[in-house]
């Protein structure tokens, strides 16, 4: 078993700590080539953003976005170029990946950058997972597969730290006797991305924290209630478990530019239906022709006024999120980072 020491180690190995609010940068690998995404992330950190989230996509949502780099390579580069938390937000450990491979990737990243990495997991979307040509099940099965995968990952983390092999034979996965030979001193946090109350309760019971996306406040309050209930069922204190939010927004110097960016670069943000079964960016492109400006209402703030964005974000802060990762959907990343670092981030108060 080997470990590596980073140049800077945080006080403990919880990459995201409950009760310590900060704002991070969402590096959109669907929109930006990997080197540019790393440069933008480093620039955001230099302006006051803390930490980077990058999702595991095999394809962009729409062809206009134009990219889809391998997230684990990019996370390693981010580990070298930044000092904050780094996490896939999220990856699916169930279709393209066997959970053992996700566990190995996560353990290695945390061994390289101790105290900085969290493992964000989701149940998957056909856009990314169908490429292997396997059966694509209904949502309940996808969720059950995810939690079985989490069980395997946790077994590998705990068994490997204890110096013993583990195995698994379940409904969806098999793992023959093995261990992770490269492990950090403390296993990575496991956070699950969900927008559903049933999954939120299971997340509280089985995982270390929850990730969700911008939604009506009442819906998020319901998620938190179920998450807390699950945590208490497992004998855990939900106040010690991090709550993470990803927010998509559109800012530009004028309202017209902000709207044009949303319509062109992130029309999927205005699609008011589940997207988990759609397989192709070109199918999304056809659906995007039906998206109208009013479809973004309640789903994404589109404005040239930083105070409008600040007020919307403050409502999420007041709900109790420990970490909020921001994604400005336009290509105007540096201009947006500069503006928000001056007029939004300093004014957000826990």
- Nearest Cα to Cα of residue 44 among 265, 322, 336, 312: 336
Question: E strands along the chain, which residues?
Answer: 22-26, 52-54, 86-88, 118-121, 166-169, 174-178, 189-193, 209-213, 243-250, 301-302, 323-328
- Known active-site residue 57: yes
* Cα–Cα distance, 226 to 202 (Å, whole number): 8
The full DSSP string for 111-138 is HHSTTTBEEEE----HHHHGGG------
Which listed residue (125, 129, 148, 265) is catalytic? 125
- Nearest Cα to Cα of residue 29 among 8, 2, 57, 3: 57
- Known active-site residue 138: no
Hey, how many other C-beta atoms are within 10 angstroms of the C-beta on 150? Answer: 23
* Cα–Cα distance, 102 to 178 (Å, whole number): 14
Which listed residue (57, 117, 130, 168) is catalytic? 57
User: Among all residues, which ones are annotated catalytic?
Assistant: 57, 125
């Amino acid at each position: 078993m080997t470990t590596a020491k980073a140049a800077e180690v945080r006080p403990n190995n919880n990459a995201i700590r409950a009760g310590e609010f900060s704002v991070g940068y969402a590096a959109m690998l669907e929109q930006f080539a990997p080197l540019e995404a790393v440069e933008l992330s480093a620039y955001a950190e230099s302006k006051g953003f803390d930490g980077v989230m990058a999702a595991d996509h095999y394809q962009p949502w729409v062809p206009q976005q134009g990219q889809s780099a391998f997230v684990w390579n990019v996370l390693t580069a981010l580990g070298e170029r930044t000092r904050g938390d780094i996490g896939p937000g999220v990856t699916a450990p169930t279709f393209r990946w066997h959970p053992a491979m996700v566990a190995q990737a996560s353990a290695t990243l945390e061994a390289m950058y101790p105290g900085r990495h969290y493992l964000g997991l989701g149940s998957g979307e056909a856009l990314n997972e169908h490429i292997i040509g396997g059966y694509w099940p209904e949502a309940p099965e996808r969720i059950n597969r995810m939690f079985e995968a989490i069980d395997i990952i946790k077994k590998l983390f705990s068994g490997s730290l204890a110096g013993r092999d583990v195995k698994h034979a379940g409904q969806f996965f098999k793992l023959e006797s093995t261990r992770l030979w490269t492990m950090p001193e403390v296993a990575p946090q496991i956070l699950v991305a969900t927008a559903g109350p049933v999954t939120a309760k299971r997340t509280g019971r089985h995982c270390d924290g929850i990730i969700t996306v911008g939604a009506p406040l009442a819906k998020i309050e319901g998620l938190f209630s179920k998450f807390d209930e699950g945590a208490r069922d497992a004998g855990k204190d939900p106040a010690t478990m991090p709550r993470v939010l990803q927010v998509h927004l559109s800012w530009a110097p004028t309202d017209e530019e902000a709207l044009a960016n949303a319509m062109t670069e992130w029309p999927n943000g205005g699609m008011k239906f589940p997207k988990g079964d759609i397989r192709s960016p070109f199918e999304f492109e056809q659906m995007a022709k039906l998206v109208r400006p009013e479809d973004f209402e309640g789903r994404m703030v589109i404005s040239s006024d930083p105070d409008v964005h600040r007020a919307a974000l403050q409502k999420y802060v007041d709900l109790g999120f420990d970490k909020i990762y921001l994604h400005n959907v336009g290509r105007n990343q540096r201009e947006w980072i500069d503006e928000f670092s001056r007029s939004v981030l300093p004014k957000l108060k826990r």
